[in-house]
A = this chain, B = another copy of it.
């Protein structure tokens, strides 16, 4: 697509290379490069995208961003306005009484902005600008000394502006070093590829999407883009927004950048300029790309419906804690009082509203409300406020609201701590994983519905479902085959890859089935408690163990070896049949549960 646009626009031969300084006049009018960089860091380039040229006025928004960081928005606004002038590119446009330049994209405003860059010496200030631009571009940048000398030799008009600004106390120091700094910022040598990445850094809230480094604090990006939006293309702003719909800035050497926030940045380089002072092909390329890629800023579909990835209750989907038949029976009904929202994407007002509204409407019918932030990419302060209000409402109604995996969204924790103060620890309940939160809620429900069984109790063999319907004699026979093993809390009972060996009857304590993740952490597949059986699948199909099993507490197990299990065929047919039937029953329960959960996630 870029190649096609390049081919088409190469045909436009209108416009003239800038000649106000001899160095610029040397540019080849046929140089033509395009570079598009996505907010995810994909770089697409075509043509003369590595030809060097000077950044010129495209430096203005980036220096404006640095001035905002150095001085705060309030201070900067005192000295430079944000209204478009409707005037041509080299107009002076100071406000009549205050002398405040109308905006930072005209030369007067840019010189005032350069005067706000902090640093002890002229060298320090220049270095700060070069370093900042380098972060935007993702490589070290330097001055084109011959262009700089040429700019400085002929920059009488800009020196006049400097003195005028000093006269109005917009500049408060000697204006001459400020003018030099301005000549220098304009003489920074870049390529079209650099411009594409710099634009994409603005699109990516100040973080260079190729290097991952921050070039400007995210909070100031909207201000930089705002002045580009209204004042970036001189007196062509209205038509630009109408046709292209992206904040942009052009430079007299033939560069143009355009930024589509959250999506991409575009850099174009072609020296011939139109009467507005904008690159003819640069404007044309942006128009073409906006049209063919549908990039208009004001043509954005909604994405609120996407924010809830999964929505289910504790009746449809359970924790990996394996439950007894009785417990499962309770949870199939009582689990309806647990509601889970798995959120995804960016939590801003409009998306958060969709989720919160559903949670609030569900609240009367729920006891436990679980919000899973695992797949949330970003959350802003407004969303924090909405979740805080929701938490207050839930607490007031005696409901329990749980927050899952808030590591991705540290702002939420800070916000809640600041608002809740001494109530923070007791009110803001966070679990690292949805599974643990579900288990906790299930336990609360089960506690009220069933007699409590202590974790320390030893379960008699006759209570094991796998031995259901055994006669006393059969029990005694089987017991004779079992071997007692004892494990300390934390011991590994089975390793993934171990050969199939034994069936484990868990007499005391609890064990978890864990699967090592590429992240180094283990994901929990199941937790068994006393009275349950594990390791049966390897017993049946003889396949090596597929996961590791670890003792969560001090554990006692009775083990039936594979050999003894097989030998029952010859010695105790009735026992074997009952064992197999009970294992079948157990497997079919697990399969029903897995299928139910698959249909929830599918």
Chain A: residues with CB nearer than 8 A to chain B? 1, 38-40, 42, 81-86, 103, 203-205, 221-223, 225-227, 229-231, 235, 237-239, 241-242, 245, 247, 260-264, 292-306, 309, 344-346, 348-350, 353-354, 357, 377-378, 380-382, 385-386, 389, 515, 525, 536-537, 540-541, 546, 569, 573-574, 576-577, 580-581, 583-585, 587-592, 594-595, 597-599, 601-602
Contact = CB atoms under 8 A, between A and B. Distances in A.
Copies of this subunit: 2
Nearest to A538: B588
A205 to B, nearest CB: 6
B598 A300 contact: no
A409 to B, nearest CB: 13
A82 B238 contact: yes
18 contacts: A40-B305, A82-B241, A205-B301, A226-B238, A230-B230, A230-B241, A247-B298, A260-B350, A263-B348, A293-B382, A294-B380, A301-B346, A301-B377, A576-B577, A583-B584, A584-B584, A587-B591, A591-B594
B302 A39 contact: yes
Given A39-B350, A297-B297, A377 B306 contact: yes
Nearest to A351: B263
A38 B590 CA distance: 43
Contacts of A385: 1, 292
Nearest to A596: B546
Contacts of A242: 82, 223, 226-227, 230
A42 B573 contact: no
B237 A230 contact: yes
Contacts of A205: 299, 301
Given A83-B86, A304-B40, A580-B580, A349 B264 contact: yes
Contact of A264 (B203, B222, B306, B350): B350
B263 A344 contact: no
Contacts of A584: 540, 580, 583-584, 587
Closest 8 A/B residue pairs (Cβ): A83-B238, A594-B594, A580-B580, A263-B350, A262-B300, A225-B298, A39-B302, A587-B587
Residue among A81, A229, A292, A576 with max Cβ neighbours from chain B (10 Å): A229
A515 B592 CA distance: 14
Contact of A84 (B238, B260, B264): B238
A357 B585 CA distance: 47
Contacts of A300: 261-262, 300
Nearest to A204: B302
Contacts of A357: 42
A541 B588 contact: yes
B81 A238 contact: yes
B221 A298 contact: yes
Given A263-B350, A292-B385, A306-B344, 7 more contacts: A42-B354, A263-B304, A301-B348, A580-B584, A591-B591, A591-B594, A594-B595
Contact of A594 (B261, B382, B598): B598
A537 B235 CA distance: 76
A591 B589 contact: no
A540 B382 CA distance: 54
Given A204-B302, A226-B241, A297-B297, A540 B585 contact: yes
Nearest to A298: B225
A581 B540 contact: yes
Contact of A590 (B229, B344, B348, B591): B591
Contact of A345 (B81, B303, B574, B587): B303
A382 B515 CA distance: 42
Nearest to A379: B301
A309 B342 CA distance: 13
Contacts of A574: 569, 573
A446 B289 CA distance: 45
A323 B474 CA distance: 38
A503 B491 CA distance: 43
Contacts of A293: 349, 382
A343 to B, nearest CB: 11
Contact of A226 (B203, B225, B245): B245
Contacts of A303: 262, 303, 345-346, 377
A577 B158 CA distance: 97
A382 B302 contact: no
Contacts of A580: 577, 580-581, 584
A588 to B, nearest CB: 5
A23 to B, nearest CB: 33
Contacts of A226: 238, 241-242, 245, 296, 298
Contacts of A81: 238-239
A264 B597 CA distance: 35
Contacts of A225: 298
Contacts of A221: 298-299
Given A222-B245, A263-B302, A304-B38, A83 B239 contact: yes
